[in-house]
Amino acid sequence: MKRGLLIVLSGPSGVGKGTVCAALRARLPELVYSVSATTRSPREGERDGVNYFFKSREQFHHMMQTDALLEYAEYVGNYYGTPRDFVEKTLSEGKDIILEIEVQGALKVKEKFPEGIFVFLMPPSLNELKQRITGRGTETQATIDHRLSVAVEEMNLLYHYDYAVVNDQIDSACNRISAIITAEHCKRERFLNELFQEFASVPSAENVSER
């Protein structure tokens, strides 16, 4: 069976990864979401197994030691990681999966899955990024400052990615990512290869004498 596509949506903190990913999933219900494990505490309304698998540090270390994570990263004092088996199973079932993860983890995934599709979400401006980090209202001032300085460094990793998508409007960003997914599916279509080979079997113009 044809394997599914691994799509990694990443970018600086506060750019809108979570928001755009949720909107994209609503639009593409067949797209499977990789639920991460984390040691951070649940925010109001977050549910274990839906938003994250909430783990103690000991539990997370055990997952690291038993190679249960495809990648993990420490981010602003907490660990975050992608459960490996679920990703492998989903891809082998021919389904597309999306990982919404920060940039260090995304680069580790790229080493293991170079065939993945790596999308870097960009803010329309630095000022807008500041506003988004501040405006969410879930963090203390110290965390906001830390996240902003991390975000500025994270922007430098853009050039490791296949695509840059500006998140100016949620809908427009979703349109762009949907178009990328459609185009990547087209590139992998078997009929295109077959068509190409059919054309390749036709003698080239210089070998055909003109009448």
Ligand X SMILES: Nc1nc2c(ncn2[C@@H]2O[C@H](COP(=O)(O)OP(=O)(O)O)[C@@H](O)[C@H]2O)c(=O)[nH]1
Ligand Y SMILES: Nc1ncnc2c1ncn2[C@@H]1O[C@H](COP(=O)(O)OP(=O)(O)O)[C@@H](O)[C@H]1O
Residue 101 binds which of ligand Y, ligand X, none (CB < 5-8 A, kind-dependent): ligand X
Q: Is 34 annotated for ligand binding?
A: no
For ligand Y, the binding residues (CB under 6 A) are 13-19, 132, 135-136, 167, 169-170
By CB under 6 A, residue 20 contacts ligand X: no
Nearest approach, Cβ of residue 164 and ligand X (Å): 17
Beta strands in 84-116 (DSSP E): 97-100
Contact call for residues 55 and 37 (beta carbons, < 8 A): yes
By CB under 6 A, residue 90 contacts ligand X: no
Q: Distances from the Cα of 211 to the Cαs of 154, 172, 208, in angstroms? A: 62, 54, 9
Residue nearest ligand X, Cβ-based: 105
Nearest approach, Cβ of residue 202 and ligand X (Å): 48
Q: Is 18 annotated for ligand binding?
A: yes
Backbone angles phi, psi at 163, to 5 degrees: -140, 145
* Residues engaged in binding ligand X (CB under 6 A): 13, 17-18, 36, 40, 71, 73, 75, 80-82, 100-102, 104-105
